[in-house]
């Protein structure tokens, strides 16, 4: 159907931003909470007001929850899942790895 979707949860960023806007229907909302492929987005803002769309930024939590999670991490009660580590000299490989969505957990870049 040509109506479009009501909500797009946008985690990727630059690479998918245009598609996310294009599939959004009249009165739809984009919730953006990630920018894995970049934080820059270029689009025709007239689309937003013609189609009465909105953009909402979200961190998927609040400061209290973040503080609580960090405290549990410091106490060793939770441990992040690390998928792969890259040396700084391999930063391009790390970026390609993320773009291909091959990871299952955090991707770490180790400073030289």
Give 10-43 as a DSSP string.
E-S-HHHHHHHHHHEEEEEEEEE---TT-S----
For the chain, the domains span 5-57, 80-110
- What is the rounded average pLDDT for all residues in the chain? 89
Tokens of 93: 């490989």
Tokens of 18: 């245009």
CATH code of 5-57, in short, is 3.40.50.720
pLDDT given for residue 98 in this prediction: 83
Give percent of the chain above pLDDT 70: 98
Residues 6+ apart with CB under 8 A from 37: 12, 13, 14, 15, 16, 98, 99
93 half-sphere exposure, CB direction, 13 A CA radius: 10
What digits encode the pLDDT tens for the residues 41-95? 988 999 999 999 999 998 867 889 889 988 999 999 998 889 999 999 998 898 8
pTM over 0.85: no
User: Per residue in 86-97, is it b (16+ CB within 10 Å) or e — as a string?
Assistant: beeeeeeebbeb
Confidence band, pLDDT 50/70/90 cuts, at residue 3: confident
Sheet of 5-10: strand order equals: 5-10, 24-32, 54-57
pLDDT given for residue 1 in this prediction: 53
Burial class (CB in 10 A: 0-12, 13-18, 19+), 21: buried
pLDDT given for residue 29 in this prediction: 96
């Amino acid at each position: 159907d040509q109506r479009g979707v009501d909500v797009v949860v946008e985690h990727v960023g630059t690479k998918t931003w245009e598609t996310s806007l294009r599939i959004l229907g009249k009165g739809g909302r984009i919730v953006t909470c990630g920018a894995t492929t970049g934080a820059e987005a270029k689009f025709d803002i007239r689309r937003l007001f013609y189609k009465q769309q909105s953009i909402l930024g979200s961190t998927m939590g609040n400061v209290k929850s973040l503080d609580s999670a960090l405290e549990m991490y410091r106490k060793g009660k939770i441990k992040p899942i690390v998928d792969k580590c890259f040396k700084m000299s391999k930063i391009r490989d790390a970026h390609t790895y993320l773009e291909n969505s091959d990871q299952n957990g955090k991707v770490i870049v180790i400073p030289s």
